[in-house]
Amino acid sequence: EIAEALSGSDVQRLAGVRVLLTAGPTREPLDPVRYLGNRSSGRMGYALAGALADLGAHVVLVSGPSALAPPAVAELVRVETALEMHAAVTARARDCDVFVATAAVADYRPAEPAGSKIKKGAETLEIRLVRNPDILAEVAALPKPPFTLGFAAETNDVEQYARGKLKDKRLDMIAANRVGGDSGGFEREENALLVLWNGGQRTLPMMSKVELARELAVLLAERYAEHHAASS
């Protein structure tokens, strides 16, 4: 009965809360067949979207290309490029209470994608890239921003980069992990996270992304409740 009661209170935790969540990689076309991509599988984002829905949240999932089956959420919006993800988020950011940015959005896109397949020729080729909009920073800088959770995937100096990103982008929380090598993260089933917020932090040790998503969802619900109480 205690277990049921606890589980019951967990289920209610995010009832009525509107969550907008991005997941997966983006693909930035060089031509109709080639693109700049990244190793995000969407696994962590999909698991977190499912875990937040399990806590009662109304989840809108904006997803880049992923081979995984999407979780059961209120709405699924499929996009491919960073600009498409930006448009999908911008159109919905004012109508959410919580924004979660798990997507690995390409920082740059080819300046001039070719309309037909680039033929090989020269021994070397220069590609000019231009910056994509910073979706997370834009949402966090809205006049009435939602409670915002960002992610940082770094190959080195993880905590330092994450603290900088939390502050610079004025996020409410950031979840950081090491990628590359044997340290979990992209393309793996397991991960570990260091979660930071103003005035606190928690380490979620290496576990499956599904378990990790459940723990992170509960932590997000706690922080959101505190933030909500303080601001209302």
In the complex with a second copy, which residue's Cβ is closer, 38 or 148? 38
Task: Check if 177 is active-site.
Answer: no
* Residues 6+ away with beta carbon under 8 Å from 187: 39, 41
Query: Of 68, 69, 61, which Cα lies nearest the Cα of 85?
Result: 61
In the complex with a second copy, which residue's Cβ is closer, 65 or 145? 65
Q: How far apart are CA 128 and CA 115, in angstroms?
A: 16
Q: How far apart are CA 95 and CA 12, in angstroms?
A: 21
The H or E element spanning position 138 is helix 135-140
| Least distance from a second copy to the Cβ atom of residue 41, Å | 10
Q: Which DSSP string do the residues of 154-216 spell out, in sequence order?
A: ESS-HHHHHHHHHHHTT-SEEEEEE-STTSS-TT-SEEEEEEEETTEEEEEEEEEHHHHHHHH
Other Cβ atoms within 10 Å of 148 Cβ, number: 25
Q: What residue ranges bind a second copy (CB under 8 A)?
A: 27, 30-40, 67, 104, 106-108, 111, 116-118, 120, 122-131, 153-156, 179-181, 186
| Least distance from a second copy to the Cβ atom of residue 230, Å | 32
Which tokens belong to 83?
């600009």
Specify whether the CB–CB gap between 128 and 71 falls below 8 A.
Answer: no
Query: Of 152, 150, 21, which Cα lies nearest the Cα of 96?
Result: 21
Which tokens belong to 209?
């992304």
Q: What is the DSSP letter of 217?
A: H
In the complex with a second copy, which residue's Cβ is closer, 120 or 144? 120
Positions marked active-site: 38
